[in-house]
Amino acid sequence: MFFAVLFVVPFSIVCCCLRGSNISSNGVCGETLKVFHSCIDIEVADQDMPGLFAASVESRRQICADLSPMLEVMIRRNPEPMKPGSVVQFVQATGSGEEFWPYLAVRALLQNLLQVWPVTGPPKSAAEVQTKVFPQSVLAAAEPRISCPFSDPAIRRGTAVLWAHMWRLHPHMPPAVQAELTGRLMHLPKLGRAMTSVAAHGEGDRSGFVDIVRSSIKFQRCLVQAMDFDDSPLLQLPHVRSVPANPPTLREDHLKLRLLKSQVVESCGEPSLLRRIGNFSTEQVLDIQAFCRHAPLVELSYVVNDEPDMAEGDLGTLKITLTRTNLDATESVGAVHAPLFPGVKFEEWWLLVYDNRGRRTITAPLQCQAMPRCSQS
């Protein structure tokens, strides 16, 4: 009994401490925070955010379902270019390619010079790997073109699920994949806050990290609305499934679409403006108009409530007021329109005070949720 108490009790205490050290105060796994701190740097782009989200421990814990039907659609939508190092496959629909079916997976080396595996699966020895030349007509991409800063298969798999959600490929997802996607998206509130906080904090020059904070917030909006980073903001409107395609490199066209959305919202869904987007039934027009009446039209004002003669290093009180211009004093906004996001989602407004001269963030990002007509911070 003495030896049991001597060894079991300290061992239990150590296990509890190790388990507790893996959880932060905001419910985010400690291992996830380590990944965010080590990977979120000045070189992170918008396209890297899904991979960072999929690299979290919370996302990797989800059940892995068969992605084959969904991946086929993703490959047709955005195939990976066949270049050295890319994974390719034989085109099944091509009759001339049937003679090559004794081989399975292939990897491009140079143009149509390929590394082939036996049909039984990955090679067990170097002798089973062959190098052959095949015509381009029987080859196709075996992976979709998605951005992921990690090479780990589990993380890349989770990244593919998130990109499929942002491309609105839900009709091609089996029920098991949709359940997996739901499990990943339910972690968005806490993981999104963690990514934004990590990007905003730090020592030294933080001038470049303002764009990283903006990318993190933009990524959260894309997951909630099931939109790609370059998609038109008009897709946030109910019953809008597509808009006229515009080259993403033309910034003027994207700004025109943003202006059109602002005009639609400010006019509460003027039918003449809606006809420029698509053909909607009477019921659909009413839904869009109801959305526009509660869409965020906000005015921002601020004031510093301190003595006029302030010097560097003094403490100041900054009062920021966000006022909705399209709601009465007795009205309040409800949940956002996000039919492809699991559960109820309310608005989030982020406030970041940045010192442009000192190139540093003065305060941590402040998050306001479910803002009524007037909110102060």
Instruction: Quickly list DSSP for 273-305.
Output: HHTTT----HHHHHHHHHHHHHS--EEEEEEE-
Residue 44 lies in a domain: yes
Please give the pLDDT value at position 93. Answer: 46
Strands of the 139-141 sheet, one edge to the other = 130-133, 113-118, 103-110, 87-90, 139-141
Say what the alpha-carbon torsion angle 51, 42, 30, 345 is, to the nearest 10 degrees: -60
Judgement on whether residues 73 and 169 belong to the same structural domain of the protein: yes
Strand partners, 106: 88, 116
Please give the pLDDT value at position 364. Answer: 66
Judgement on whether residues 49 and 184 belong to the same structural domain of the protein: yes
State whether residue 177 is helix, strand or coil: helix
Judgement on whether residues 304 and 374 belong to the same structural domain of the protein: yes
Residue 339 lies in a domain: no
Please give the pLDDT value at position 134. Answer: 72
As a whole number of angstroms, the distance between CA 190 and CA 195 comes to 9
Judgement on whether residues 328 and 281 belong to the same structural domain of the protein: no
Tell me how far the alpha carbon of residue 167 is from its chain's centroid.
11
Tell me which residue of 210, 216, 217 sits closest to 353, measured CA to CA.
210
On whether the CB atoms of residues 100 and 138 are closer than 8 A, the answer is yes
Judgement on whether residues 320 and 371 belong to the same structural domain of the protein: yes
Please give the pLDDT value at position 254. Answer: 57
Across the 377 residues of the chain, what is the mean pLDDT of every consecutive 10-residue run?
55 53 68 91 91 92 81 88 71 49 51 67 74 73 87 90 95 92 92 89 73 91 92 86 56 62 79 84 89 83 79 79 80 83 86 77 68 55
Residue 13 lies in a domain: no
Domain that holds residue 33: 25-78+150-226
Judgement on whether residues 157 and 58 belong to the same structural domain of the protein: yes
Please give the pLDDT value at position 135. Answer: 73
Please give the pLDDT value at position 104. Answer: 47
Q: Label the pairing between strands 360-361 and 354-355.
A: antiparallel
Judgement on whether residues 311 and 192 belong to the same structural domain of the protein: no
Tell me which residue of 370, 377, 374, 376 sits closest to 323, measured CA to CA.
374
**CA distance readout (Å), 228 to 126, 195, 205, 319:** 41, 19, 30, 34
Judgement on whether residues 264 and 181 belong to the same structural domain of the protein: no
Please give the pLDDT value at position 18. Answer: 46
Judgement on whether residues 37 and 171 belong to the same structural domain of the protein: yes
Please give the pLDDT value at position 344. Answer: 86
Judgement on whether residues 234 and 276 belong to the same structural domain of the protein: yes
Judgement on whether residues 59 and 89 belong to the same structural domain of the protein: no
Tell me how far the alpha carbon of residue 84 is from its chain's centroid.
28
**Tokens linked to 326:** 């399209």
**Tokens linked to 98:** 């049937």
Q: How many CB atoms lie within 10 A of CB 283?
A: 9
Instruction: Quickly list DSSP for 18-61.
Output: HHHTTB-TTS-BHHHHHHHHHH-STT--GGGHHHHHHTSHHHHT
Place of tokens 């491309």: 167
Please say which residue of 168, 203, 226 terminates a domain.
226
Q: How many domains does the chain have?
A: 4
